[in-house]
Amino acid sequence: MAITLISVEQAHALQANGLPLFDIREPAEWAASGVPYGARTVTKSELERDTCHHITGPEQAFMLSCGGGKRAPSCAEALAGQGYLTIYVVQEGMRGWLASGLPVQAYVADDFTLRYARQIQLPQIGLSGQQRLAKARVLMVGAGGLGSPCAFYLAAAGVGHLTLIDDDTVALSNLQRQILHTNDNIGELKVNSAKARLNALNPSIDVEIHNDRVTRSNFSNYIKNIDLVIDGTDNFNTRYVISDACSELGIPWVYGAVYRFEGQVSVFHASKPEQRGLCYRCLFPEGDTESSAPNCTEAGVLGVAPGLIGVLQATEALKCLLDIGETLHGRLLHVDLLGMRFHETKLTADPECLACGQFAV
């Protein structure tokens, strides 16, 4: 195998003889300065991950160009490691191409490519992962303290369909932590305020809203064709409804809870049909009543606590949807903000759990 450094003039000459030139910069860079005339545009991360989609085989020779000549050599090394034999690296990159007055063509980037450019360049996501997010359908129960930051980041990340359920209106006391809403929204339905704010951030996504309270009788209607559920509530009873329904259908869901200066996050993915346990009831077997489960109104909460937990929930949701990294499935993460400490507890399925265990009915 051989990696050869060449000048922009040599690259132009080789290109005229039919050797392909790949501009491996990012979409925002292509849009700002154009690309070498006739060059193929593919980001460095995308080319390294899906090389066979762009290069016919190890014997095909090709050229790599970046912005100033720093990224192309590392990309060449990565591709050489995959077995590609003849790689030319344009030393000065696009900067040298422009300085030499060589022909350039405009690059017109679509909204999708530019909006998610920083995610697309991540090797674990790429264009295919971003397209996967665009097709994802997520149900967010609650548009308050947890739902606000979580929904915000999921919308920004490009989750294509968000369904929000909440039956409350915006109050002045909400604004200390519920960042989806503003002073002008006081008295407005939270779902209406949330939809307007999320679509203002990202008009390309579909935000479906329901001014409703989740119950055992209606929740099954809301989780049809849903890929993931996120708990943004502040009471045990609703969590049992979410957990039982998701266990019944094998739908993963992201749990989050806050109390004063503390918070918890986990991921549950039980499935009764597949005999796969570990649901919320495995952790908290007995159902508590509304009166025994203190909420923010009764206990108080530091405003940033649901912000942090909600962002962690969004992170877990994105990992689940993209099937990347290690989720919190089987682990309960506890956050102590006063001491700024994170503690993890390993969770195990309860074989006698009434919802997902071997005796579940």
| Tens-digit pLDDT profile for residues 186-199 | 999 999 999 999 99
Q: How far apart are CA 80 and CA 74, in angstroms?
A: 10
Q: How far apart are CA 58 and CA 47, in angstroms?
A: 14
Q: Which two tokens stand for residue 174?
A: 């909400």
| Short-list 78, 84, 86, 105, CA closest to 2 | 86
End-to-end alpha carbon distance in the chain? 62
What's the farthest any 2 CA atoms get from each other in the chain?
78
Q: How far apart are CA 307 and CA 312, in angstroms?
A: 9
| Short-list 281, 197, 269, CA closest to 229 | 269
Q: What is the mean pLDDT of each run of 10 residues along the chain (361 residues)?
A: 91 96 92 94 90 90 94 95 95 95 90 88 87 97 97 98 98 96 97 98 97 95 95 93 93 96 96 83 72 65 97 98 96 97 95 76 52
Tell me the CA distances in angstroms from 212 to 19, 25, 65, 187, 219, one per residue in order. Answer: 61, 47, 54, 16, 10
Output the pLDDT for position 274.
Answer: 77
Per residue in 152-172, pLDDT (tens digit) is 999 999 999 999 999 999 999
For this structure, is 296 an active site residue? yes
Tell me the CA distances in angstroms from 81 to 1, 59, 78, 226, one per residue in order. Answer: 9, 14, 5, 40
Report the mean per-residue pLDDT for the chain: 92
In the set 296, 320, 353, 356, the catalytic residue is 296
Q: How far apart are CA 166 and CA 9, in angstroms?
A: 62
> What's the gap between Cα 269 and its chain centre?
18
Output the pLDDT for position 292.
Answer: 53
- Angle separating helix axes 304-322 and 147-157, nearest 10 degrees: 40
In this structure, what DSSP letter does residue 325 have? S
C-beta of residue 214 within 8 angstroms of C-beta of residue 196:
no
Angle (CA) 160-315-74 rounded to 5° is 90
Output the pLDDT for position 255.
Answer: 98
Q: How many CA atoms lie within 13 A of 155 on its CB side?
A: 26
DSSP string, 6-38: E-HHHHHHHHHTT--EEE-S-HHHHHHH-EETT
Residues in the chain: 361
C-beta of residue 329 within 8 angstroms of C-beta of residue 276:
no
Output the pLDDT for position 127.
Answer: 84
Q: How far apart are CA 141 and CA 147, in angstroms?
A: 7
Q: Which residue ranges form the domains of the chain, and what is each CATH number? A: 2-120 (3.40.250.10), 135-346 (3.40.50.720)
How many C-beta atoms lie closer than 10 Å to residue 231's C-beta?
A: 29
Output the pLDDT for position 103.
Answer: 96
In this structure, what DSSP letter does residue 63 have? E
3-state secondary structure of 140: strand
> What's the gap between Cα 310 and its chain centre?
13
Q: How many CA atoms lie within 13 A of 43 on its CB side?
A: 21
Tell me the CA distances in angstroms from 14 to 8, 20, 39, 88, one per residue in order. Answer: 10, 8, 12, 10
C-beta of residue 64 within 8 angstroms of C-beta of residue 72:
yes
Output the pLDDT for position 289.
Answer: 46
Q: How far apart are CA 24 and CA 26, in angstroms?
A: 7
pTM here is 0.80
